[in-house]
Structure 1
């Protein structure tokens, strides 16, 4: 009591009185319908652009749409789950799935690791050099996929490609008129290089921005304590970058899993079976063989396979939003 009275005299106020048994509750944030009202036009536009094609694709996967129905305009007969049964029992489909998954894993690992290395390098070079690197990578990032794939097709051309010309100049090596796509391992190395080259700018620039949030005091203290650069990276930098690394890795998985343009252009619009991915396989079945319902079923399965990755990405975004 004396402490309370003395504190009251110094502040010139009186001790607050609270009703017994009544606890203070935090005020709940009042939600209004204004944000939803402002978002309504965008939501309606997205529903029209994305929602209708998705619903139509699912509907088509339960039908037997052929070229005859497409030309005549007659409704396609319903076949239920027949298309899904054919796809899931097809060994070629599962070979395409495993090939797509393997490519995605390899491409994402190389993209994230090289992008992280470039981001770390950007923090150690001079400001002018860093600005030049950012501008150069922005040009790469802004290049359309079709243009980049066509450029790589010319570079690796068997007759006039600069890659064959340079390698052929090495002593004891004969790469004249060498075709990179006869061997699937060499062909996929070209495709993977193109995808990694195009994906590095986003990873490097994003992680470079994240590295600016790493406190310099922690790094300096670790250096004074005798920590090596690898120990500093593992114990300080990577834990701070972990949320951002998860985001960029998840986005890379989503983008690379839907590979279409690169292998389609490099194989001149006719990818061989060993170069088929889920996206090209679905397109080939639907428009190359006029099996539209079967292609729709493959697309629906592809979307279902990606739902887990997309849900994980959205969950991580909400986590970052809660922390902020």
Structure 2
């Protein structure tokens, strides 16, 4: 038995009305995603729109101590603040250092996090539970408390690191200053701390992605002779690829604008510009130096760098959605 669709022109008024009633709920439901996203959009616009707008306006102004105290209205100097920071060699030195720092720490964080996620899929449930609790404690620890512990570990007089190294036969490290002896060691210590704080997020995200990989497919691949790397490359990685992309992007953004960890390390060591990243340098210029216009201009430059670093991911995401 076959049926043929009634052409739209040949429909009776009753058939047309029935078809319209069927289509109406479908059209009404199409507005649901827009209604659901409206609240989040308003929060973003109100919570971030004003601060960003204020920063953009202030970056074109001469805004110092007098303007902050209300003694004088800010004067528009337009691009003078940007010209000043672009001609500042110290700013570019800090910028290059910050970009390299965030690229290295974010990459190491993602690699260690994925390895821990793979480890959680292979160990027994009891050990996996202990590892997850340890990661949660590291992630949940407040920044101030965590930094207090880390500074104590690397303290040159009472630090555990120096004490353990001194236990090695033939090694006498003495009161070696890990934080203040050189900028390289300072940022190695800072990178270890920031990586330690960020790894749990990556590990849990990657582990959630690995739970979507079929165990039967992995077992079949192993029986066919595929090694561990081949199974990861051809079976696990395609599933983890979107997760790795988003956690890498988030860690790049977080590590580029890191502030509290560097500030607390500087409080325990040197405070020179060679030990600054963009967050601390902007704070010293804008707040401590009372040059809010220059600090706002630097903040807009950092925003532009953040957009540039994340553009590759955003472009690939748009391309995947269009396809």
Give the SS at the match of 1:153: helix
Corresponding residue for residue 175 of structure 2: 177
User: For 1:123, what is the secondary structure of its paired residue?
Assistant: helix
Map 1:198-237 onto structure 2 (within 5 A). 198-237=197-236
Superposition deviation, residue 311 in structure 1:
4.8
Aligned-partner SS, 1:68? helix
Alignment match, 1:74: 72
| Change in 2 beyond 3 A, CA 1:21/1:35 | closer
Change (3 A) 1:155 1:19: same
Residue 113 (str. 1) matches residue 101 (str. 2):
no
Report matched runs for 1:17-36 at 5 Å.
17-19=5-7, 29-30=27-28
How far is 1:100 from its partner? 0.5
Distance 1:45 1:217, change over 3 A: closer
User: 1:5 corresponds to which residue?
Assistant: none
Structure 2 unpaired stretches of 5+: 11-22
TM-score, scaled to structure 2 = 0.87
Task: Report the equivalent of 1:245.
Answer: 244
Residue 16 (structure 1) aligned with residue 20 (structure 2): no
What is the match of residue 84 of structure 1? 82
Give the C-alpha shift of residue 260 in structure 1: 0.8
* Corresponding position of 1:3: none
The alignment status of 1:130 with 2:128, answered yes or no, reads: yes
Q: CA deviation at 1:39?
A: 5.3
Instruction: Trace 1:235-274 onto structure 2 (pairs within 5 A).
Output: 235-268=234-267, 271-274=271-274
What is the total number of aligned residue pairs between the two structures?
309
Q: CA RMSD in A?
A: 2.8
Q: Confirm or deny: 8 A CA contact 1:247 1:316 kept in the other structure.
A: no
CA pair 80-225 structure 1, distance change in 2 beyond 3 A: same
Q: Distance in 2 between matches of 1:241 and 1:37?
A: 31
1:274-285 map, 5 Å = 274-285=274-285
Q: Which residue of 2 aligns with 1:99?
A: 97
Tell me, in whole angstroms, the C-alpha distance in 2 between the residues paired with 1:173 and 1:107: 29
Deviation at 1:171, TM superposition (A): 1.6
CA contact (8 A) 1:251 1:313 kept: no
Distance in 2 between residues matched to 1:161 and 1:257, nearest whole Å: 28
Mapped to 1, the partners of 2:5 and 2:246 lie a distance apart of 50
- What TM-score results when the alignment is normalised by the length of structure 1? 0.86
Unaligned runs of 5+ in 1: 1-7, 9-13
- Residue matched to 2:301: 301
